[in-house]
Structure 1
Amino acid sequence: MTTLDLSPDELLTTTRTVRKRLDLEKPVPAELIRECIEVALQAPSGSNRQTWHWLVITDAEKRAAIGEYYRLAVEKYLAGSGAAGKLYADDPVRGPIQRRIGDGVAYLGERMGQVPVLVIPCLEAKNLPAGNQAGLWGSILPSAWSYCLAARARGLGTAWTTLHLNYEQEVGELLGLPEDIRQTALIPTAYTIGTDFKPAARQPLDGILHLDTW
């Protein structure tokens, strides 16, 4: 196994959403994906139930079909007023960043089906509870993010996407999912074109940190 020489803080701060720099041509060994999922399974889950499942899609026809559903969802998303490219449009600092993100979303929307590996972390949940669902999704989201971190450490890039969930039923039928399995995200995974990712600009800590009270 080849890993990047990253400290824990470097790994945590440079695991980016990768869209335009995914290598669509280089195959990803299945064993490498297994390693990443093995790491992900060490994440916490509610009551240690571990009711997670991982779909790894490498079949070209299925990837193309999922990619088409994702493309349709991206098309609708970009047409809406809340799309990344339209948020903070008049902000001289955040506006250009959001426009770049919008361009990246459009790029991946056209190419999702070409990414060598698509990963869908899932959770057993026949009936979604009313009201607070934090405990439910908290049983899979840390694991899914651990997968992204493990991939970054191995020179792979990922993107956290959920727009395909607009077609969750169709994708579920395509992949033969049982009715009690809920999809969490769609994580395209590929080698990256370069590995020199850096921390992203974020809001100043003092503007969002609250001690003891609001």
Structure 2
Amino acid sequence: MTTLDLTPDELLSTTRAVRKRLDFTRPVPDELIRECVTLALQAPTGSNVVTARFVVVTDQEKRAALGEIYRDGYDKFMRSPGYPRRWKFEDAETKAQYDKMSSSAEYLGDHMGDAPALVLGCSTGPDRYSAVAGASNVLPSIWSFMLAARARGLGTAWTTLHALREQEIAQLLGIPYDNVAQLVMIPLAYTLGTDFKPAPRPDAEEVIHWNQW
């Protein structure tokens, strides 16, 4: 196992949503994905019960089909009032920042199926309601998977637009829709370069409420 020379703080602050810097030409070894999942399963869970499941799609035809489904979802998102390019901004700097983000997301929308692996992070339960309601028991594992990937020179991006056609994906991949919720679809690939920086964020004091709101 080879990992990047990152401190814990560097790992946490530079695990970015990677889109334009995903290397679609380089396969990701299955064993590397297993390592990431093994670490992901160490995340805390309620009552020490593991309800997370990872559907790893490397088959080219299935990746292409998932890419088309995601592209359709992104097209719908772009036509919605909530799309960032439709927002009105008070200053040019903020607009430029969101335009850059939108351009990156649009690129991924066009190339999702080109990623060498697509990983569906899922929540399981005895029924559909339990699977969806139990998402909080699974999200730490999914984030741990992304951190483990970053440490190994792999890039990821947290996406959810596949959910617009979740039943179709369930049929495509043989996922039991009645008791498995597909929470997130993650493109997984080596990155073009490994130098990622912390993102602009508010100062901690702007979001902390001491003792009361």
- Scaled by the length of structure 2, the TM-score of the pair is 0.94
- Measured after TM superposition, the shift of residue 94 of structure 1 is 2.5
- Aligned partners of 1:137, 1:47: CA distance in 2, in Å? 14
Give the direction of change, closer, same or farther, for the CA distance of 1:83–1:60 in structure 2 (3 Å limit).
Answer: same
Q: Which residue of 2 aligns with 1:123?
A: 123
- Measured after TM superposition, the shift of residue 58 of structure 1 is 0.1
2:151 to 142, 150, 153: 153
Give the direction of change, closer, same or farther, for the CA distance of 1:63–1:98 in structure 2 (3 Å limit).
Answer: same
- Aligned partners of 1:212, 1:89: CA distance in 2, in Å? 33
Q: Which residue of 1 aligns with 2:175?
A: 177
Q: Deviations over 1:40-84 (max 9, x none)?
A: 000011211102211000000000000000000001111212123
Q: Which amino acid aligns with 1:120?
A: L
Structure 2, unaligned stretches of length 5 or more? none
Give the direction of change, closer, same or farther, for the CA distance of 1:43–1:88 in structure 2 (3 Å limit).
Answer: farther
- Aligned partners of 1:171, 1:113: CA distance in 2, in Å? 13
Q: Deviations over 1:146-198 (max 9, x none)?
A: 00000000000000000111111001110001121111100000000011000
Q: Deviations over 1:5-31 (max 9, x none)?
A: 000000000000000000010111110
Q: Which amino acid aligns with 1:52?
A: A
Check whether the contact 1:87–1:98 (CA below 8 A) recurs between aligned residues: no
Q: Which residue of 1 aligns with 2:2?
A: 2
Pair 1:100-2:93 in alignment: no
Give the direction of change, closer, same or farther, for the CA distance of 1:152–1:52 in structure 2 (3 Å limit).
Answer: same
Q: Which amino acid aligns with 2:155?
A: G
Check whether the contact 1:65–1:113 (CA below 8 A) recurs between aligned residues: yes
- Aligned partners of 2:75, 2:104: CA distance in 1, in Å? 13
**Aligned counterparts, 1:54-73, within 5 A:** 54-73=54-73
Check whether the contact 1:18–1:157 (CA below 8 A) recurs between aligned residues: yes
- Aligned partners of 1:101, 1:156: CA distance in 2, in Å? 20
- Aligned partners of 1:103, 1:118: CA distance in 2, in Å? 21
- Measured after TM superposition, the shift of residue 88 of structure 1 is 5.3
Q: Cα RMSD over matched residues? A: 1.4
Check whether the contact 1:156–1:190 (CA below 8 A) recurs between aligned residues: yes
- Aligned partners of 1:33, 1:85: CA distance in 2, in Å? 35
- Aligned partners of 1:106, 1:181: CA distance in 2, in Å? 28
- Scaled by the length of structure 1, the TM-score of the pair is 0.94
Q: Which residue of 2 aligns with 1:78?
A: 78
Check whether the contact 2:128–2:180 (CA below 8 A) recurs between aligned residues: no
- Aligned partners of 1:91, 1:83: CA distance in 2, in Å? 18
Give the direction of change, closer, same or farther, for the CA distance of 1:90–1:76 in structure 2 (3 Å limit).
Answer: farther
Identity %: 50
- Measured after TM superposition, the shift of residue 86 of structure 1 is 3.5
- Aligned partners of 2:33, 2:159: CA distance in 1, in Å? 18
Q: Which residue of 2 aligns with 1:200?
A: 199
- Helix, strand or coil at the partner of 1:185: strand
**Aligned counterparts, 1:126-141, within 5 A:** 126-128=127-129, 133=133, 136-141=134-139
Q: Which amino acid aligns with 2:33?
A: I
